[in-house]
Every structure is written in structure tokens, then in C-alpha cells.
Amino acid sequence: MAVKIGIRPNGPYLVEGEVEVVDVNGNKVDTSARGPRFALCRCGASVTKPFCDGTHSKVGFQAAEGGGCAGEEVGVRNGPRAV
């Protein structure tokens, strides 16, 4: 199954599919309790980083114009990326 990453307006990244999330030290982050679909914090305010806990609504997070959805290039990496 292909991995799908969606962007919620003024909200998190929604990740769907089989992926491995690792922290800044390369340690695997357990996503098993979240199922095949989970949300990664995009605002920086979550207390459960790297996951979204809904705090973006409380802090009034506003995404950059365009929300990263159109006209914004997405970097391509050859290997895992820590979040």
C-alpha cells in the first residue's frame, strides 16, 4: 500500500499507510496504538509530539498562505527522516 500524507488546513499532517517514524536519534517511535492512520503535529504546540493532540485549534495555528498544499515543493530524501 502506498503511503499517503495529507495536509489539514491549519492542522496536522495526516499519515496513512505503512511507515516508520523515527525520532532525532533514529529510534523508532511506536505508532502501533494509533492504527494505520495518524496525525503528525505541524504547529509545534502538541504535548504528544510528534503526534497531533488537537492543540493547534487552541493556539489558533495558522498555516502559511496556501497551507503547503499548492505550489510548494516537497523535498525528497533518500532515507529516513526524523521528526
Nearer to ligand FES, 7 or 22 (CB): 7
Query: What is the H or E stretch that residue 59 is in?
Result: helix 55-59
Nearer to ligand FES, 12 or 31 (CB): 12
Q: Residues 14, 53, 68, 83: which binds ligand FES (CB under 6 A)?
A: 53
Q: Are 56 and 13 in contact (CB under 8 A)?
A: no
Q: Is 67 left (phi over 0), alpha (psi -120 to 50) or beta?
A: left
Contacts of residue 31, defined as CB under 8 A and 6 or more positions apart, other chains included, come to 19, 21, 38
14 lies in the binding site for ligand FES (CB under 6 A):
no
Residue 14 Cβ, how far from ligand FES at the closest point, in Å?
A: 10
Residues that bind ligand FES (CB under 6 A): 11-12, 41-43, 45-46, 52-56
